[in-house]
Amino acid sequence: MRLYARIPNDDIGQFAGNLKLRSNCGGAMHHTKGKADVGVAKTIADLTVKGHVPCLPLSEHQPYDLVVVLKSGRAIKVQVKFASLKKNGTIDVRFRSSWSDRNGTHVRHYGKDSFDYYAIYCPEKDTVLYVPNTEDCPKALRFSSPRNNQSRLVKWAHDFADLRESSETICRTPEMVKT
């Protein structure tokens, strides 16, 4: 049996801030599935605070983790990623899914039509960034200034703090026309 609790909108930010990376035995969590669950929970909380409506798909076999109804009423698909901050002040954006089974390790790269946005949760900054799934999307996002003071071509994390409206909607996806 599962129990669900409704959290008032005023308390959702505080609730999201209290989510910690812990295992059942109290130690730090390292398992990728657990990290993914935390990333999805933080993304849901962040989207709710920003006025969007996050929805979970009925199947976990989709290339996206969430469907989000934006404030404008448009629906988009979001793939959630968990990315730790590197020593140089950046996070890497991974454009792939990987898993292991008895046949070895497998890697599948995402297509640009698989979903609309990456939502990248960084636990060290306790923030979610929203990167469009386009051919020119950044491979890394920077939180702090680089040592060489380069500013040209730097993709700053604060520029990806919210979802941007686009003309694409979920109604145009191939999954919707399958019978």
Q: Which two tokens stand for residue 111?
A: 């297509």
Query: Count of CB atoms within 10 A of residue 109's CB?
Result: 10
Query: Count of CB atoms within 10 A of residue 49's CB?
Result: 13
**Backbone φ, ψ for residue 176 (5° rounding):** -75, -20
- Considering 58-67, 94-103, 146-155, the range whose residues carry the highest mean pLDDT is 58-67
CB 96 within 8 A of CB 110: yes
Dihedral of CA atoms 52, 110, 174, 100 in degrees, nearest 10, equals: -100
* In a domain? residue 152: yes
Domain boundaries, position 42: 9-177
Which residue would you say has higher pLDDT here, 157 or 69? 69
Q: Which two tokens stand for residue 38?
A: 């935390």
Q: What is the pLDDT of residues 30-51, one digit of tens each?
A: 466 788 889 999 999 999 999 9
Which residue would you say has higher pLDDT here, 60 or 55? 55
Q: How many domains does the chain have?
A: 1
* In a domain? residue 1: no
Which residue would you say has higher pLDDT here, 56 or 137? 56
* In a domain? residue 86: yes
* In a domain? residue 31: yes
What pLDDT was estimated at residue 51?
94
What pLDDT was estimated at residue 35?
86
Judge whether residue 24 has pLDDT over 50: no
Judge whether residue 70 has pLDDT over 90: yes
* In a domain? residue 139: yes
* In a domain? residue 115: yes
* In a domain? residue 146: yes
Which residue would you say has higher pLDDT here, 171 or 64? 64
- Tell me what the mean pLDDT of segment 95-99 comes to: 74
Among 57, 50, 55, 56, smallest CA distance to 72 is for 50
CATH of the domain at 136: 3.40.1350.10
Which residue would you say has higher pLDDT here, 49 or 98? 49
* In a domain? residue 2: no
- Tell me what the mean pLDDT of segment 6-34 comes to: 53
The C-alpha atoms of residue 168 and residue 90 are separated, in whole angstroms, by: 29
